[in-house]
Copies of this chain bind each other. A is one copy, B any other.
Amino acid sequence: MVKYATSISLDGFTAGVDQSLEDPIGVGGMRLHDWIRELAFWREAHGGEGGIETPSTAVLQSSGDNVAAHVMGRNMFGGGPGPWGDDPWNGWWGDEPPFHAPVFVVTHHGREPLECEGGTTFTFVTDGVGSALAQAKEAAAGRDVQISGGSTVARQALAAGLVDEIRLDVVPVLLSRGVRLFEDGDAFGDLEQVSAVEGRGVTHLTYRVAAS
């Protein structure tokens, strides 16, 4: 199963405007992730400590349990657009990324695979999200593939009918402007409501997607 999960403002934005190195999720966008950054589960996975347990902990744990490969866009891996250069940056994720699994990065620019500590290997895919998902599915060998953002790759996969389940982590924030998950005219199949879980400053809405 291919899954996509994203934090989203109540008014439908997954990022604010003017994304930059200082504001990687756009102006105000980091507020969409307050709920996850306070979780002990998340902090531990990202090399931090402290934090709390909320109903979101179980949602993340059960959602991640069966994930054996990831697909992400280049911005999510890290770095601006254009060729990688001779001494390419190794991304946002540090020496030991939290994935512990193969990660397929959709990019226009080829690059040798990057093997990191803890079992994460980034493979750079230049022939589109469909190819990245196919490679990830093969790597996952029957287990789940997670689309780990950003929204460009996620929207391409949704539009192509390649996503089986989406989870929206709805945050009580109005961003007013930014990157919408659902633009006018988007269509990608029928939804079946799977579950709704109330967290602390977030609600997790999970839907199964059936190709229409």
Contact = CB atoms under 8 A, between A and B. Distances in A.
A58 interface: no
A173 B192 CA distance: 8
Contacts of A205: 10, 170, 203
A177 interface: yes
A189 B11 CA distance: 12
Contact of A193 (B197, B201, B207): B201
Chain A interface, DSSP helix/strand/loop, else mixed: loop
Contacts of A203: 193, 196, 203, 205
Contact of A172 (B177, B197, B207): B207
Interface string A176-202: 110001101111110111011110011
A198 B205 CA distance: 9
Nearest to A168: B10
A120 B192 CA distance: 38
A174 B184 contact: no
B196 A198 contact: yes
Interface of A: 10-12, 168, 170, 172-174, 176-177, 181-182, 184-189, 191-193, 195-198, 201-203, 205, 207
